Structure 1
Amino acid sequence: MPKNRLDRPAFFSRRRLGPLLLVSILSGCAVQPLQDPASLLTSVPSADLSRAATLKTQGEADEAAALYLELAARAQAPAKAELRLQAAQAYLDGGRVSQARQTLDELETAGLVGGQLERSRLLKAELAIADRQPKTAIAELKRLNSALPKALKIRRLGLLAAAQRLDNDPVAAAGSLAELDGLLDGPTRLNNQVSLVATLALIGEDDLLKLTRAGRGPMKGWAEIAQLARRHGADPKRLDDAYRQWRQGRAGHPALPELARAYAGDGPGGYASGQSVTVMLPGSGRFAAAAKAVRDGIEAASQADTSAQRPSLDFADSTNAGRVRNLHGSAIARGADYVIGPLEKPAVEALIAAKTSPVPTLALNEASETERRALNLFQFALSPENEAAEAANKGRTLGAGRALVLHPNTAWGQRLATAFGAQWRAQGGTLVSQAGFDPAWSSYDKTLSRLMDGQDADLLFLVATAEMARKIHPQIQAAANKPLIVISTSHVYSGRFDADADKGMVGLYFVDIPWMLGLGGDGPLAHRTIMGRTASAAGPLARLYAMGIDAYRLAPRLSELAANPGAYYPGQTGGLAIDPVGRITRQLALGRFTPTGPVPAQSPNAPAGPSARESRRIDTE
């Protein structure tokens, strides 16, 4: 059986509360010694436990959880608490975050033994991360005693890094990953170092430069490597050459020799020799153009793969969503080691209904129902709502606290406004006022006057397309009675800058995928390299082309990313991680329009990047 085939849910190793957390005797007395959870369940009929475990393996999360709770109702301590923990875990494995939280909330903590309290807090933190509540997760993790055994310490630091990234604190997240580095070895350590550098690589260049100058100990070196990654990440050879030069004279730094190649997707952690990938995309219908852009990106990534383990690609037409489960099964029967796709929501939902997948499958959309999942199926989407939430995160990093929202009077405009507002408030910001507009208007004076009248705001979130923003942004700046940060989503940038048409957007901030902003420098897969020769990389579907590149590189790394909560992959579509319920989360880059085009942004009035002199210094030191 290929190593990625599913004969048991091993890819959920970070969420299983059982054999992975075996006995470790602690040196102090502040924390009770861990016990094998099985030893706490000796009073429970083994046949019932086996049946519950089988249900979990089959993806029957609700049924498994119900059985654990039924057994808990008849059990005595400590088995009662252990069974409730197992039920909460089963719910989480099935994507049932609300039920998992309710089950944990009903757990009586007073009599917990053998590490049950520590495990319950870790699980609560994981639930908070799944619910995008990083502050709650961080608080839960900080309640844990520092004298944890190694297995729990590794899990705690990984969850802490994930929560800190969600909380918009990449430097703290990098610090947690740096601490975690000392506990790991082998491929897991290398992957953790990739995550560490990727976490730092998406912060502003000026902040990164400060970290290289003021950072202490190994963190200074990690920041320098992140600078190299920002500059050469799109070109594996140039990055590896620069990294090798950087390592000269830095023998004491913990960065591994193969780090640069692994970061660029050209080193360990990818496909194994002889593997094959089936790609399920629609060949006709309303999604055909989007599917072609994704396919072009996948094929470009395959052609640029210089490793000796490049997999074979088999493309299958998934136009008929009703046949997608048969198509998926046929691909596996033919020997597919990984599946990429499908693209349409109904097809994704059809695969989720199967409850489990024998091989890692990367769906290129998200199901409408957020609390359903299938084991070994991961959901990857370029969601506009995700962009709006990221705009809120970036706005907070720019120092703003009081926001206005302006959106078109459409369902799309309202969805993005709602997503921004929810995340803005979750990050501690105040939503001052909100207004809608008709895109057909030529003047927005009255709407802007009502929106801004008497409001002491320092940021405005604008929901708009490029055509709308060209008209509205100059009027916003004219109506503001003080400097006002205006931020939007990638919809304001078509991918091609027109100095005359786009002059009204100068100063406008927007979130976008790193690929569109040229982060990573030149290389065979860089946007500016491909844009002139491939139509799908230059038009409105360009971001789907980048999604195809990421899909090719993510497929063999899905199990590793899912198993390690702190894992973070430097994708073309953003910093990528897998949350506790199998969704690919993306952290975007911040851009800003200048008279010469969009550039990676820092903060108001900050330079777009280091000077040429600083660039040369970073490359050669």
Structure 2
Amino acid sequence: MPATTDPQDCRWVWPPRIVPTSLLSHSLLSRATLPYGGAFEPETAMLRKSCNRDAPTAPGKAPKKTPSAAIPWGPGRLLWPVRRASQCLEPRFARRSARHPERLLARGCLKLGQALGPVLGLALAVALQAGCASDPARDPRRALATVPADALAAAEALQQDGKPAAAAAAYLELAAAAQAPARGQLQLAAVASLLDAANAAEAGAVLADIHQPELTGTQRQSARLFSAELALRRGNSQQARTALKRVNQGALPKHLRVRSLRLQAAVDGLDGQPLQAARSLEALDRLLRDDHAARLDNQVALLLTLSSLGPEDLREAAAGQRGSLRGWVELAALFAQHPAPGPGVTADYQRWRARNGGHPALANLSEGYFAALAGGYPAGTDLLVWLPEDGRYGGAGAMIRAGIRAARDADPGADRPRLRFTSGAAETGADLVIGPLDKQAVTELAGRAALAVPTLALNRSSDHSPTSNLFQFALAPEDESRNAADYAWAAGTRRAALIYPDDGFGERLTAPFRRQWRILGGEIADERPYAPGGPSADAMAAAALVPPAPSADVIFLVAGSADAGAILDQLRQAGSRLPVIATSHVYNGDQAPERDRALAGLYFVDIPWMLDQERTDALSRNALRRTQPKVQGSLARLYAMGIDSYRLAPRIAGMARLPGSVFPGATGGLTVDAGGLVQRRLQLAQFTPRGPVLRQAMAPAAGQTSAP
């Protein structure tokens, strides 16, 4: 008998005589492939493991021997390939694929098809794969086939009409009378609607009430996705990231894959990783191919996310990226050079598209991007601004009011709101409210269960429990301390020394740094309070670190520019080379060469509006210096707060429904957390003898390398 050749050298072979031709044709057997490398061969005499004696061998090695493991004839012999294929379904194989049961079943069905020949096997594989691997939750209509069609359509209509809370109630009513898998599908739909209604508490209660064992595989993945979203809504991005890793994205239906990618982008955005967030949004763009409007919104969100890097960081990031993500970074840098729409940016964008013909950026992306930066008010909006005109907050109110007016005057949108001001309690009849500014008034609003219309308060209450329709936006110095901790940690430093004035203000700024530093995993190596303004304040603070604390690798400094200069001078004289980072209190925005030389090398965090020296548009600080002398005073940052409050008001509720969505404001990269608090991502700068310059990151101390 002629030897059988095989590229794998060894294989199972089966004689045609053992299978009656009435069952399978000779031609099918001659081409069929057995599992694990076997094959049907009409030339062979028996089913055996056959090795090619003439197979080439490696130099210095003996040829392989042919085993004589012939399988005896018997009733089980005909079903042997079926048994071999079915081993894919046994528990020992299931252990390997516990996270992907649908893949396991599909694999078993396909192996069975391979064993029975290409024609019969193909038909059987298709039929069995449909039966084995199909999950009704992948098709909600199939999972909900037993639900009354009219009642289900009514619930879905409520969701589509922008009434998610009512839709959730309707889904839960249907779930109470349904059986699995419809019950689980309806409960999950209610969770999604409650999340869309920004009711995380009730969404969590419904999710906890779902009987997990009766869920299908895909429904379990959906439940995990909603658990991750709930964690993010509660402000725990790390828990959300961990939960997302447990979600099998391939098992989710398309609309939940969209939700998952948005959630991943939100987690990365909140963790200060805009490039990672952009990658998720880039993947989402591919998923939205058939929906032009959704793609445009997503591409705008991608560029807004990248814009939080700042112009210099964008240029550096573009050099380190490849493929389409590099194009997105280039576009973000291009649009950052044009703070307002106009012929110039349109021409630049068209030239960029001509050079990058294969890039997925839409033709009308430029218009969509600048429309998002405009006011964004619906036609006929009545905007009420509640600010004091005198008293303790009178000066601050005047600066914010001026910023709001300037933002409205510069709004390129066709639908500007009707603007009304009040110094007392908010009047009825408004569509949106900005204010109040007084902390006590904000706390009073926070004590209510809900507000009638979206209200953007310009301070933070003492009570941080969420109130429906109340959002709190403040230029809190505590934000600066947390940002300073984040930048110091990103530089690889892990052991911080704190220098701060021994008063309430010093403790107010040091406490959030200390708290954030420990959350990140850092250690407080030393704390040295000093008497503010005292004749020996600088020497006392510096002496505490001279020689520098051996375990410290960074210094957080709380001081005004005068004290900061004296303390830095003492540290330099003592030979300290540790990097020092401070809050914006060291910089008032004025051009002061003497101060800049004294503070050279000092890092600090501040709002983009104070640091951007390149912008010259109507709302830039460079332009406003000529018409608004007060933008150079101690209240200058409140002008930027007025600009951002005007732009945030119409989109604040939508941002709350999408945690992690970033708006590039004059006061920082702005996001809204689960409690309705506006969080700010500030920019990093460093003093040089020529003035402050933007930095992407802090440099580690001389002689040190960044920690992983």
State the TM-score, normalized to the length of structure 1.
0.77
Residue in 1 that maps onto 2:355:
249
Partner Cα distance (2:543, 2:194) in 1: 53
Query: Which of 282, 289, 294 is 1:178 aligned to?
Result: 282
Partner Cα distance (1:547, 1:27) in 2: 59
Secondary structure at 1:278 match in 2: strand
Partner Cα distance (2:571, 2:231) in 1: 37
Residue in 1 that maps onto 2:640:
546
Secondary structure at 2:529 match in 1: strand
Within the alignment, does 1:411 sit opposite 2:504 as a pair?
yes
Residue in 1 that maps onto 2:298:
192
Within the alignment, does 1:169 sit opposite 2:273 as a pair?
yes
Is the 2:616–2:623 contact (alpha carbons within 8 Å) kept by the matching residues of 1?
yes
Query: Which of 537, 551, 554 is 1:459 aligned to?
Result: 554
Within the alignment, does 1:395 sit opposite 2:498 as a pair?
no
Deviations 1:408-452 (A, max 9, x none): 222232232221122223333333222222112334334434346
Partner Cα distance (2:414, 2:209) in 1: 52
Residue in 1 that maps onto 2:684:
590
Partner Cα distance (1:573, 1:300) in 2: 15
Secondary structure at 1:532 match in 2: coil
Query: Which of 302, 310, 317 is 2:423 aligned to?
Result: 317
Secondary structure at 2:515 match in 1: helix
Residue in 1 that maps onto 2:249:
146
Secondary structure at 2:685 match in 1: strand
Within the alignment, does 1:202 sit opposite 2:308 as a pair?
yes
Query: Which of 446, 456, 477 is 1:362 aligned to?
Result: 456
Is the 2:404–2:646 contact (alpha carbons within 8 Å) kept by the matching residues of 1?
yes
Query: Which of 470, 473, 486 is 1:380 aligned to?
Result: 473
Deviations 1:242-273 (A, max 9, x none): 33332233233222334334434577881233
Partner Cα distance (1:307, 1:87) in 2: 36
Within the alignment, does 1:340 sit opposite 2:434 as a pair?
yes
Is the 1:190–1:259 contact (alpha carbons within 8 Å) kept by the matching residues of 2?
yes
Residue in 1 that maps onto 2:617:
523
Among all aligned residue pairs of Structure 1 and Structure 2, give the percentage whose two residues are the same amino acid: 39
Partner Cα distance (1:169, 1:28) in 2: 37
Partner Cα distance (1:391, 1:26) in 2: 57
Within the alignment, does 1:135 sit opposite 2:238 as a pair?
yes
Deviations 1:379-423 (A, max 9, x none): 222121111111111222333232222222222322322211222
Please report how far the alpha carbon of residue 217 of structure 1 lies from its aligned counterpart in structure 2 after TM superposition.
1.8
Within the alignment, does 1:287 sit opposite 2:393 as a pair?
yes
The 3 A distance-change label for structure 1 pair 36 and 462 is farther
Secondary structure at 2:248 match in 1: coil
Deviations 1:48-94 (A, max 9, x none): xx9xx9xxx99999xx99xx9xx99x999886998799799979978
Partner Cα distance (1:339, 1:369) in 2: 20
Is the 1:85–1:120 contact (alpha carbons within 8 Å) kept by the matching residues of 2?
no
Residue in 1 that maps onto 2:323:
217
Secondary structure at 2:595 match in 1: coil
Query: Which of 413, 421, 424 is 2:517 aligned to?
Result: 424
Deviations 1:276-298 (A, max 9, x none): 31111112221111111111011
The 3 A distance-change label for structure 1 pair 35 and 95 is closer
Please report how far the alpha carbon of residue 274 of structure 1 lies from its aligned counterpart in structure 2 after TM superposition.
3.2
Please report how far the alpha carbon of residue 140 of structure 1 lies from its aligned counterpart in structure 2 after TM superposition.
1.1
Residue in 2 that maps onto 1:158:
262
Q: Counterparts in 2 of 1:99-118, with a 5 A limit?
A: 109-113=212-216, 117-118=220-221
Higher relative contact order (CA 8 A, sep 6+): 1
The 3 A distance-change label for structure 1 pair 414 and 95 is farther
Q: Counterparts in 2 of 1:504-583, with a 5 A limit?
A: 504-518=598-612, 521-583=615-677
Secondary structure at 2:514 match in 1: helix
Residue in 1 that maps onto 2:138:
33
Please report how far the alpha carbon of residue 590 of structure 1 lies from its aligned counterpart in structure 2 after TM superposition.
0.9
Please report how far the alpha carbon of residue 172 of structure 1 lies from its aligned counterpart in structure 2 after TM superposition.
0.6
Is the 2:375–2:411 contact (alpha carbons within 8 Å) kept by the matching residues of 1?
no
The 3 A distance-change label for structure 1 pair 35 and 423 is farther
Is the 2:498–2:527 contact (alpha carbons within 8 Å) kept by the matching residues of 1?
yes
Report how many residues are paired: 553
Secondary structure at 1:404 match in 2: strand
Please report how far the alpha carbon of residue 542 of structure 1 lies from its aligned counterpart in structure 2 after TM superposition.
1.4
Is the 1:26–1:32 contact (alpha carbons within 8 Å) kept by the matching residues of 2?
no
Q: Counterparts in 2 of 1:69-80, with a 5 A limit?
A: none
Is the 2:683–2:694 contact (alpha carbons within 8 Å) kept by the matching residues of 1?
yes
Deviates more, 1:254-263 or 1:404-413: 254-263
Letter in 1 for 2:491: L
Partner Cα distance (2:192, 2:461) in 1: 22
Please report how far the alpha carbon of residue 572 of structure 1 lies from its aligned counterpart in structure 2 after TM superposition.
0.9
Partner Cα distance (2:489, 2:630) in 1: 34
Partner Cα distance (1:31, 1:427) in 2: 43
Within the alignment, does 1:471 sit opposite 2:547 as a pair?
no
Please report how far the alpha carbon of residue 491 of structure 1 lies from its aligned counterpart in structure 2 after TM superposition.
1.7
The 3 A distance-change label for structure 1 pair 118 and 398 is same
The 3 A distance-change label for structure 1 pair 305 and 216 is same
Is the 1:296–1:536 contact (alpha carbons within 8 Å) kept by the matching residues of 2?
no
Is the 2:539–2:567 contact (alpha carbons within 8 Å) kept by the matching residues of 1?
no
Is the 1:406–1:435 contact (alpha carbons within 8 Å) kept by the matching residues of 2?
yes
Partner Cα distance (2:641, 2:402) in 1: 10
Partner Cα distance (2:414, 2:570) in 1: 55
The 3 A distance-change label for structure 1 pair 412 and 187 is farther
Q: Where does structure 1 lack aligned partners over 5 or more consecutive residues? A: 1-24, 607-621
Letter in 1 for 2:244: L
Please report how far the alpha carbon of residue 40 of structure 1 lies from its aligned counterpart in structure 2 after TM superposition.
12
Partner Cα distance (2:311, 2:131) in 1: 43
Partner Cα distance (2:375, 2:362) in 1: 14
Letter in 2 for 1:588: L
Is the 1:514–1:572 contact (alpha carbons within 8 Å) kept by the matching residues of 2?
yes
Q: Counterparts in 2 of 1:115-126, with a 5 A limit?
A: 117-126=220-229
The 3 A distance-change label for structure 1 pair 274 and 485 is same
Q: Which has the larger radius of gyration?
A: 2
Secondary structure at 2:649 match in 1: helix
Please report how far the alpha carbon of residue 191 of structure 1 lies from its aligned counterpart in structure 2 after TM superposition.
3.2
Is the 1:389–1:419 contact (alpha carbons within 8 Å) kept by the matching residues of 2?
yes
Deviates more, 1:351-360 or 1:433-442: 351-360
Deviates more, 1:169-178 or 1:117-126: 117-126
The 3 A distance-change label for structure 1 pair 299 and 143 is same
The 3 A distance-change label for structure 1 pair 597 and 453 is closer
Is the 2:235–2:674 contact (alpha carbons within 8 Å) kept by the matching residues of 1?
no
Letter in 2 for 1:140: A
Residue in 1 that maps onto 2:593:
499
Residue in 1 that maps onto 2:405:
299
Partner Cα distance (2:310, 2:454) in 1: 34
Residue in 1 that maps onto 2:48:
none
Letter in 1 for 2:239: T
